[in-house]
Structures are given as C-alpha cells and as structure tokens.
C-alpha cells in the first residue's frame, strides 16, 4: 500500500511516522530475545559482549555453555524433568480440552458460558493466585511435590488453550457433516474419528502446542506445586539466575527460543492446511 499521489504533507509525515513506530515496537519486542543468542556463544563467563566478540574474532566465541548444559547434572536432570512433565501435561490438556470444547459447542448445554469461563479462568487469573491455590489444594490431597501434581497443575494451565483453539475450529465445523456421516451408516464413534477429528485436528494440535509451551516455560506454579524432584528447566534457570549467574542460562534460553519458533511455525503450517481443507482458499 503506497502513498497516494494526492496525499497531504500531514499524511506523508504520518505515513513515515507510522512505519518508525512499528519498527520501534518490533525492536523492543524482539531485541531482548535476539541479543541472548550471540551472548550464549560467549567464550567468557560473562553476560556482556567481550571486546573479542565485538571484533568478531573466533576466540571470543565458544560452545562451552552448551557443553555445560549437556554435561552438568543439574541441567540434565532439569531437562529430563521438563521433557517428562510437559508431554504428559499436554496429553491431558488435549484430551480434556478437546472433549470440553466439543461438549460446550453442543447447542443444548445449559450454562455454557459460565462453564466456559470457569474452564478458561486459569489463563486469566494471575498465575501466582492459581499457584498458591493449587499448593494448598494439592498438599491437602497429597499431590504436592509429586510428578502427577505438577503434571495436573500444568494440564490445568494448558486446557484453556486447547479449549479456545478447538472451539474456534468447531465454529467453522458444519454439523451437517456429522449428520451426513450418520446417514451414510457410520456409528457415532466412527463419525468422530473419521469425520470430526480430522477436521478439528489442526485446532487440537495447535492447542496442544500451546499447552506444551506453557508447561515447558512455566516457573511459578512448579515452584509451588513441585519439589526438588520436579525441578524443571525454567525453575533451574530461575535458581541459576539467583545463585550462580552462569551464561549457561543463555544457552538454555537460546535452545528454548529455537524450540518455540519451531513449534509456532508448525502451528502456522497447520492453520494454513486447515483453511485450505475447509475450502477457504484454492490450493
């Protein structure tokens, strides 16, 4: 969209000012994330750019923080904890969230909005409040400080994402498709797996990815609900920041950013695929 030939001086100024503002917003959003990437290759144990790094000499850079991450026991335990907790939490979120979304999209469900609001509340309520609540509740029933406690807590945080994305896909879902499937002789279970599931799958997967990222990045709830045995990556980073200030954190952060980018790219690809399938744009 270029500038029309009849634009006034004011419009011209605004046109360029708008671009500058947008650029600044992007810069403030992205710069902190980008800056850690070169820093994580720092050859020294500092959080700043050394003169060697600035002169781009190879001696200024090294993989030692990555090595530290992959060899240090604390970090490896934290990685293992994250890798075992996040997928299980994701699985639970996806299962319950998808069922809830399908149930809530039926027209005859009473108190739909109220139920929806309650299920989504973990996303809206300040995390520290959910975390404190979960701490007291889980201690009472003996889940505090256990693997399943953390998994359940993270699943509760992930469910809103799944509900929202699956509900969004269901809005475009044509109910006559399930009727058609029934009419063609498919029982309800076959109809669900052969017709409904494939069509809402992009929503389910992107919701699942969000749930995964939530669990993988989450630090507040796990601090409350978990114990030393469930120390996840973000928790380890948090303690690392307070206690030993090592650029290994930067290496981990870079890895996490890379994982997030890959996952978000997957979401985007899936979204496009679903739109194409629903005939929103020609292939």
Partner 1 sequence: MSFIQRVRHLISLYAVEIRSFFVLAAPRAWTTDWGDHVPKDSETGDFVVFERVQKSYDGEILVVKDLNLSIGKGEFLTMLGPSGSGKTTCLMMLAGFETATHGEILLDGNPINNIPPHKRGIGMVFQNYALFPHMTVAENLAFPLEVRKIGKSDREAKVKRALDMVQMGDFGGRRPAQLSGGQQQRVALARALVFEPELVLMDEPLGALDKQLREHMQFEITNLAHDLGITTVYVTHDQTEALTMSDRVAVFDDGRIQQLAPPDVLYEEPENSFVAQFIGENNTLSGTVETIEGGACTVKLASGDIIDAKPVNVTKPGEKTLVSIRPERVEFNKDRLQAGAHTLKAEVLEFIYMGDIFRTRLRVAGREDFVVKTRNAPDQVRLKPGEQIEIGWLPEDCRALDA
Q: What x/- string results for residues 12 through 51 when contact with partner 1 is judged by CB under 8 A?
A: ----------------------------------------
Alpha carbon distance 185, 40 (integer Å)? 59
Sequence-ordered strand ranges (E) for the chain? none
Alpha-carbon gap, residue 159 to 230, rounded angstroms:
21
Residue closest to 75 by CA, chosen among 193, 195, 238, 205? 238
Instruction: Please check whether residue 212 is in contact with residue 159, taking contact to mean a CB–CB distance below 8 angstroms.
Output: no
Of 30 and 184, CB closest to partner 1: 184
> What burial class does residue 141 get, using C-beta atoms within 10 Å of its C-beta: 0-12 exposed, 13-18 middle, 19+ buried?
exposed
Nearer to partner 1, 43 or 200 (CB): 200
* Spatial separation of the C-alpha atoms in residues 223 and 177, rounded to whole Å: 46
Closer by beta carbon to partner 1, 19 or else 276: 276
Is 258 an interacting residue with respect to partner 1 (CB under 8 A)? Answer: no
Between 103 and 188, CB nearer to partner 1:
188
Report if residue 58 touches partner 1, rule: CB under 8 A: no
Using rule CB under 8 A, residue 270 touches partner 1 = no
List binders of partner 1 among 196-225 (CB under 8 A): 198-199
| Candidate list 89, 100, 151, 181; residue touching partner 1; CB under 8 A | 181
**Residue 269 binds partner 1, judged by CB under 8 A:** no
d(CA 160, CA 59): 47
In sequence order, which residues have a C-beta less than 8 Å from that of residue 152 and are 6 or more positions away? 89, 92, 138, 143
Minimal CA–CA distance to 193: which of 98, 93, 104? 98
Q: What gap in Å lies between CA 76 and CA 70, rounded to an integer?
A: 6
Rule CB under 8 A: choose which of 36, 163, 195, 237 binds partner 1: 195
Shortest Cβ 109–partner 1 spacing (Å): 17
Using CB under 8 A, pick the residue from 184, 241, 265, 269 that binds partner 1: 184
CB of 281 to partner 1, least distance (A): 9
**Cβ closest to partner 1, residue 23 vs residue 188:** 188
Name the residues that contact partner 1, by CB under 8 A. Answer: 174, 176-177, 179-188, 190-191, 194-195, 198-199, 276-279, 282-283
């Amino acid at each position: 969209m270029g500038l029309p030939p009849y634009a006034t001086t004011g419009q011209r100024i605004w046109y360029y000012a708008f671009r500058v503002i947008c650029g600044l917003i992007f810069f403030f959003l992205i710069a902190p994330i980008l800056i850690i990437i070169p820093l994580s290759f720092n050859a020294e144990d500092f959080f700043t750019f050394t003169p060697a790094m600035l002169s781009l000499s190879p001696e200024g850079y090294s993989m030692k923080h990555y090595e530290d991450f992959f060899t240090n026991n604390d970090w490896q335990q934290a990685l293992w904890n994250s890798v075992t907790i996040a997928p299980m939490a994701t699985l639970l979120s996806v299962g319950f969230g998808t069922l809830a979304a399908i149930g809530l999209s039926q027209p005859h469900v009473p108190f739909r909005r109220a139920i929806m609001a309650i299920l989504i509340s973990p996303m809206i309520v300040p995390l520290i409040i959910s975390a404190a609540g979960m701490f007291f509740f889980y201690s009472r029933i003996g889940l505090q400080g256990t693997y399943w406690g953390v998994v359940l807590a993270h699943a509760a945080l992930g469910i809103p994402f799944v509900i929202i994305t699956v509900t969004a896909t269901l809005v475009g879902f044509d109910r006559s498709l399930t009727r058609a499937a029934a009419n063609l002789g498919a029982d309800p279970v076959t109809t669900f797996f052969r017709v409904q599931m494939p069509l809402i799958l992009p929503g389910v997967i992107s919701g699942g990815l969000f749930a995964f990222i939530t669990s993988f990045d989450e630090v507040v709830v796990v601090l409350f609900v978990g114990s030393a045995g469930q120390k996840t990556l973000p928790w380890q980073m948090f303690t690392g920041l307070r206690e030993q200030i090592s650029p290994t954190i930067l290496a981990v952060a870079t890895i996490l950013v890379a994982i997030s980018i890959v996952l978000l790219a997957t979401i985007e690809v899936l979204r496009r695929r679903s739109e194409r399938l629903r005939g929103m744009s020609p292939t």
